[in-house]
Structure 1
């Protein structure tokens, strides 16, 4: 695999976790020629080193898709390779570096992702890594990247991060954050993606609430920005989406779902998030919250 400019177009889904990126990834992956890879940023630790299952249900090492990708990109997956990428990530891919992403190791770090994308053989891949800092790395490295900035009401995101949810991969609880920490991360990630736009990167914004309210319109408009030919959306039947299996390396538990899923807005935060937490999150996330259309301050 050479390091020439990749012919594979990358759709990078950015935003804070629990904002609907996995849902959007699964929907976009139903479009012709589009392959979902999940959160590639975690492929190295959770896939190569820990052997967690692919979205298809097979263990990473037993998945034919990822085995072929590893062989084409690197001559096979090796622990030393994954460990090297993780070292580079700690040096380069950091939130505090987004203001000045240049680093001597940037090219080597981005090259690992480029090789993964190219090795899929797909014309378009989706990387739902979310982290704004990784998006900055890929753009700075000159890749053909189109960023989809996914936002959701920060109070809904805070409520989701409070929940106790088991990871299907191993039954352990997913990471939980309090409202203060969630609000700070929500602001940091969204501000980082805003910075990408100011630097001239191709960025489109999608609100989770709009996606579930009108998936056909949202996906059609987004496909136009992404340069995808969409003759129709046969996998959508009203408020139901029919999903096939996807080879996602990591992500939200819904990456394992196959078949019909109901598209509806999860607004359980309105009754489940304590009033004091709602007010705290609302205050800490202003003015981006207002910029994205979340003006209501629930009592």
Structure 2
């Protein structure tokens, strides 16, 4: 994995899980010339090893798209490659390394992502891996990456992480976190992406609530900021409704399997579902970033 390759433009969706990155990825993936890949950071464990289904519904090993990517990138998907990348990830791709991301194995680790991106044959790819540490790795290695920093009210995020949700891949429950852990991770991930922007990386911030309040206006502004089109056309969005086609996302929120009509409306169940004590705890642990993003009011 040491040969240089020509990497397409990468739109990297960063932020804490349950912040709306999967929805945004699906919407951007409807643009001409843009291919949404899902959370590529989990490709090795969930795709190659566990053989979980692609967003198109096919098991990873039999999905024609991912078979072609594997053949082009590595001569086929092999557990030895996945094991190597996962080992490198444990060494290099760590939140605690942010700010001093240079590591002797960084180039080899990022090269695996370069090969995957290039093997899609796309002009622009979307990687919704979320992790700020991987965004740092890509930027530090010279990948042509533009980070879209997706933020959502931490109280809504905490409520979402506390809910019991079954994984459509196997029916097992998705990971659940308590309010304190969610708040600490929300602060850490968002602070890390803020620091990445201050270090000179291209970072554009989008609030999940703005996307749902004004889908066309928010997407149009984002598409222009990303340099994808001077005058964006969004035929797949009509007011508060969007139409999504099939996608080949390797991992992500259950919404990655959705095809067809989707209503773009915000879920404010947290305003009644999150207890007063839990809300105060999240408020305390996420200040002042929460206020910076405009989440000082009751409804965000």
Q: With the length of structure 1 as denominator, give the TM-score of the two structures.
A: 0.98
d(CA) in 1 for partners of 2:210 and 2:161?
A: 21
Q: CA RMSD in A?
A: 1.1
Q: Is the 8 A contact 2:151 2:206 kept in 1?
A: yes
Residue 259 of structure 2 corresponds to 258
Q: Per the alignment, in what secondary structure is the counterpart of residue 61 of structure 1?
A: helix
Residue 178 of structure 1 corresponds to 178
1:233 partnered with 2:250: no
Q: Is the 8 A contact 1:8 1:123 kept in 2?
A: yes
d(CA) in 2 for partners of 1:283 and 1:87?
A: 36
* Residue-by-residue CA offset, 1:199-248 (whole Å, 9 max, x unaligned): 10000000000000101011111111111025410001111100000000
Residue 194 of structure 1 corresponds to 194
Q: Is the 8 A contact 1:13 1:148 kept in 2?
A: yes
Q: Aligned ranges for residues 79-98 of structure 1 at < 5 Å?
A: 79-98=79-98
1:269 partnered with 2:270: yes
Q: Is the 8 A contact 2:2 2:108 kept in 1?
A: no
Q: Is the 8 A contact 2:5 2:118 kept in 1?
A: no
Q: Is the 8 A contact 1:5 1:143 kept in 2?
A: no
Q: Is the 8 A contact 1:279 1:297 kept in 2?
A: no
Q: Aligned ranges for residues 158-177 of structure 1 at < 5 Å?
A: 158-177=158-177
In structure 1, list runs of 5 or more residues that go unmatched: none
Q: Per the alignment, in what secondary structure is the counterpart of residue 241 of structure 1?
A: strand
d(CA) in 2 for partners of 1:53 and 1:161?
A: 23
Q: Is the 8 A contact 1:6 1:144 kept in 2?
A: no
Q: 1:91 Cα shift?
A: 0.3
In structure 2, list runs of 5 or more residues that go unmatched: none
Q: Per the alignment, in what secondary structure is the counterpart of residue 35 of structure 2?
A: strand
